[in-house]
Chain A
Amino acid sequence: MKVTRRTFIQGGVVGAAALAGLGFDLAPAQAMIKDLKISRASEVRSVCPYCAVGCSMIAYVGGQGKTQSFNTTPHLIHIEGDPDSPVNGGSLCPKGAATMQLALSSDRIEHPRYRAPGANEWTRISWDEALDRLARLMKDARDERFVATDADGNTVNRNEGFAWGGGATITNEEGYLVTKFMRALGVVGLEQQARL
Chain B
Amino acid sequence: MTTTDLGLTIRRQSATPASGTNIRRDHSTPALEISKLVDIDLCIGCKACEVACKEWNDLQVEETHLFSGYQSHPDLTPHTWDLMRFNEVELAGGALAWLIRKDSCLHCEEPGCLLACPAPGAVIQYENGIVDFNQDACIGCQYCVSGCPFDIPRFDTVTKKVYKCTLCIDRVSTGLEPACVKACPTGAIRFGTKEDMLAYGLEKVEKLKARGFSEAMLYDPVGVGGLHMMYVVPRGEILEQYGLPVDPTVTAPTSFPSLIGALRKVGATASWAGLLAAAVYFLKTGKRYPPPEEEAVAAAYEKAPHG
Contacts and interface: CB of A to CB of B under 8 A. Distances in A.
Q: Do chains A and B touch in the complex (CB under 8 A)?
A: yes
Contacts of B87: none
B52 interface: yes
Given A26-B137, A93-B46, A81 B8 contact: no
B48 interface: yes
A14 to B, nearest CB: 8
A109 interface: no
B60 interface: yes
B256 interface: no
B170 interface: yes
Interface stretch (A95-103, A143-151, A171-179, A184-192): A95-103
B254 interface: no
A20 interface: yes
A66 B182 CA distance: 27
A93 B46 CA distance: 7
A131 interface: no
A135 interface: no
B51 interface: yes
Contacts of B253: none
B134 A21 contact: yes
A94 B3 contact: no
Nearest to A98: B51
Contact of A35 (B55, B137, B170): B170
Nearest to A21: B136
A39 interface: yes
Contacts of A30: 3, 8, 173
Interface residues of B, number: 37
Nearest to B169: A33
Interface in B20-74: 21, 46-48, 50-52, 55-56, 58-60
Contact of B121 (A26, A91, A92, A96): A26
Interface string A67-90: 000000000001011000000101
Nearest to A26: B121
Interface string B6-23: 001110010000000100
Contacts of A17: 58-60
A20 B135 contact: yes
21 contacts: A24-B134, A24-B137, A26-B13, A26-B137, A29-B10, A30-B3, A30-B173, A32-B132, A33-B170, A33-B173, A36-B170, A36-B171, A36-B173, A92-B48, A92-B52, A93-B183, A94-B47, A94-B48, A96-B48, A96-B183, A98-B55
Chain A to chain B: the 6 pairs with minimum beta-carbon distance, closest first: A97-B52, A94-B51, A21-B136, A34-B170, A16-B58, A97-B51
Interface of A: 13, 16-17, 20-21, 24-30, 32-37, 39, 78, 80-81, 88, 90-94, 96-98, 100-101
Interface of B: 3, 8-10, 13, 21, 46-48, 50-52, 55-56, 58-60, 121, 124, 132, 134-137, 169-171, 173-174, 176, 179, 182-187
